[in-house]
Structure 1
Amino acid sequence: MSWSENDIPSQHGRVAVITGANGGLGLATAKALARQGADVVLAARNQTKARVAHDQIRAAAPNATVEIVPLDLSSQESVKRAAADVLAGHSRIDLLINNAGVMAMPEGRTVDGYETQLGTNHLGHWTWTAELLPAVLAADAGRVVTLTSIAQHQGRNLDPANPFLDGRYDAWRAYGNSKLANLQFAIGLNRRLQAAGSRAIALAAHPGWTDSDLQTTTASAGGGGLFGRLGGRATDVFGMSVERGALSQLRAATDPTAQGGSLYGPLFVSFGSPVRKPLAPFGIDEGISRLWEISERLTGVPLDVAAQARRA
């Protein structure tokens, strides 16, 4: 069954906070939600691009309320500061969409000493979600949607002794690990929300083979190797548009029938209408357990859903 932007129910009165909304999938997601009446908060690192995105959204949805919050997911300090800015203006978040990410970057470290891809794609969103969770819990059935990737299939559960792949770094392996962490995070968060008796749910989505900003960013940073260069060229020719690629996370965020703990992606893996995808259960419990222990240890930020739900 096909699903398109026309199937998004009215979002009037709802607040959507989207990371990486200054371009690519994030911008397409913000536009679609704004057209359906949502108030959107663009959390983005590049403020010049964010201002352009702001104007594009207002052009697509003239009556939309659009805010910009500076956010650098590779910096825990920036994440906490940006979250405080969001909470200062919003006591309730209906849709928290963890969209931003980097792909197949050369080996490097964030300002906090984390491997760049895990630090940005997962650990940044870990702290971001932990800080904003009270506002999600304050909403009527809030949702947290985290973007993963087909590449999660090549990822492995994080090694507690070496989560950054020191001494054996490979750009695509590290990317796969970070994207598997995104999927495990969504499932683990949903389990904790359910256990706490919350009406909020968490889901994951992947965009399939989409011609997004990631390929350009990877190439400009010197990452991805030969596979990245060939993949980028193929994506230019065969990849879905960002508008079509964004439908997976839009369906996860807005479909009234969507169930927590689900993964949404294109019907034919890399392309097609967004559908609920099967999840491979093997190793998921151990992976989630490791992820929670490693993430709390590295960031010093606990994600205690039960305690926050009791205070909501």
Structure 2
Amino acid sequence: MFNDSGWTADDLPPQAGRNVVVTGANSGIGFEAAKAFAAEGAHVVMACRSVERGEDAKAEIEADYPGASLTVRELDLADLDSVAAFADRYATEYDALHVLCNNAGVMAVPRSETADGFETQFGVNHLGHFALTGRLLDVLRRTSGETRVVTQSSMAHESGEIDFDDLQHEDDYDKWAAYGQSKLANLLFAYELDRRLRAANAAVASVACHPGFAATNLQYRGPEAEGSRLRLLAMKAANAAVAQSARAGAWPLLYAATHPSIDGGEYVGPGGLLNARGHPEEQSSSERSRDEATARRLWSVSEDLTGVAFDLPAPGDD
């Protein structure tokens, strides 16, 4: 395992000539990642649910880096038609994609459903990114040189379970259980994608990461949706007292996306106190996240639910 104890975004290698897609790039970790990539010369496609907020974020980055190359495109991960439209437009406008950052997400929100009828956390955090990756796979594979898919998970995956009998949590909804399931699904997907890419001898690496405990708007959405002022104030106090900055929270994603030591299949997170803050290192994820039978079953279910099939062999297939 590597432990690059002093690595920060300042150590990001030059990115000139590279195309990067970051989902949820208008705020938090996605914004910090987009800024870091752009600062090193990458062309960054900021994939945002709100184009208006995306344009505001783009202007903020350009104020710091006047030569930054940025494009804002609408992407609503809660709507598979939006995912398809984004991917089709990207493939029409660009010949290459060097890094796909599956970063956007929702956390611990009251139960609701996506446009396609999926429980929102499972639908946005896992199924939306599953479909996006599948639809961008051709452009990833035709890109010259190594390309990477980086999928953002969370320490919450450790409590997650995949409930195939009630994936959409229709029978019994617990917001944290649903979040844990979605974050475990992110890891199962990232590792299974890596195995299938290897089976296809594809020059694409699939990597997973987590930000630790980073101060972002993600923590506020659940209390805001519930109208709980007390929970909102408590979360803001916790962010102020314990959390690292969103900039530091982006380091594992940036490391996973660019460091030459990454080969595919790694899980990168902060190496400090309780893996909640600090510089990036390779870490071990839960036993459940490495269950290949569960990953293969989830892959099949995800293809059925999204209608997106990957042109990749399953490990062990002839």
Q: 2:82 aligns with which of 78, 81, 91?
A: 78
TM-score (norm 1): 0.94
Note the 1:164-175 alignment, pairs <5 A: 164-175=168-179
Whether contact under 8 Å (2:77, 2:128) holds in the other structure is yes
Q: Does 1:54 align with 2:61?
A: no
Query: Aligned-pair distance for 1:59?
Result: 1.9
In 2, distance between residues paired with 1:304 and 1:218? 37
Letter in 2 for 1:201: A
In 2, distance between residues paired with 1:76 and 1:223? 28
Query: Aligned-pair distance for 1:227?
Result: 7.1
Unaligned runs of 5+ in 1: 308-312
CA RMSD of aligned residues (A): 1.8
Q: 1:146 aligns with which of 117, 128, 151?
A: 151
Name the counterpart of 1:6: 10
In 1, distance between residues paired with 2:10 and 2:228? 36
- Aligned residue for 1:42, secondary structure, equals strand
Q: 2:312 aligns with which of 293, 302, 305?
A: 305
In 1, distance between residues paired with 2:185 and 2:227? 20
Q: 1:185 aligns with which of 189, 192, 195?
A: 189
C-alpha change, 1:224 and 1:112, in structure 2 (3 Å) is farther
In 2, distance between residues paired with 1:284 and 1:228? 36
In 1, distance between residues paired with 2:197 and 2:15? 23
Note the 1:1-312 alignment, pairs <5 A: 1-139=5-143, 140-156=145-161, 158-222=162-226, 230-268=234-272, 269-282=275-288, 284-306=291-313
C-alpha change, 1:226 and 1:177, in structure 2 (3 Å) is farther
Letter in 1 for 2:250: A
Query: Aligned-pair distance for 1:89?
Result: 1.1
Query: Aligned-pair distance for 1:86?
Result: 1.2
In 1, distance between residues paired with 2:18 and 2:72? 17
Query: Aligned-pair distance for 1:285?
Result: 1.0
C-alpha change, 1:105 and 1:255, in structure 2 (3 Å) is same
In 2, distance between residues paired with 1:228 and 1:248? 26
- Aligned residue for 1:165, secondary structure, equals coil
- Aligned residue for 2:239, secondary structure, equals helix
C-alpha distance after superposition, 1:44-80 (max 9, x if no partner): 0112210111111212222121101101000000110
Same amino acid, percent of matched pairs: 40
C-alpha change, 1:88 and 1:171, in structure 2 (3 Å) is same
C-alpha change, 1:297 and 1:232, in structure 2 (3 Å) is farther
Letter in 2 for 1:182: N
C-alpha distance after superposition, 1:215-255 (max 9, x if no partner): 12222211899877644431232111000000010000010
Instruction: Tell which deviates more after alignment, 123-132 or 56-65.
Output: 56-65
- Aligned residue for 1:66, secondary structure, equals strand
- Aligned residue for 1:221, secondary structure, equals helix
In 2, distance between residues paired with 1:81 and 1:107? 26
Name the counterpart of 1:310: none
Query: Aligned-pair distance for 1:280?
Result: 3.8
Instruction: Tell which deviates more after alignment, 249-258 or 298-307.
Output: 298-307
Query: Aligned-pair distance for 1:91?
Result: 1.6
Whether contact under 8 Å (1:3, 1:273) holds in the other structure is yes
| Count of aligned pairs | 306
In 1, distance between residues paired with 2:54 and 2:266? 30
In 2, distance between residues paired with 1:215 and 1:26? 14
Unaligned runs of 5+ in 2: none
Query: Aligned-pair distance for 1:127?
Result: 0.7
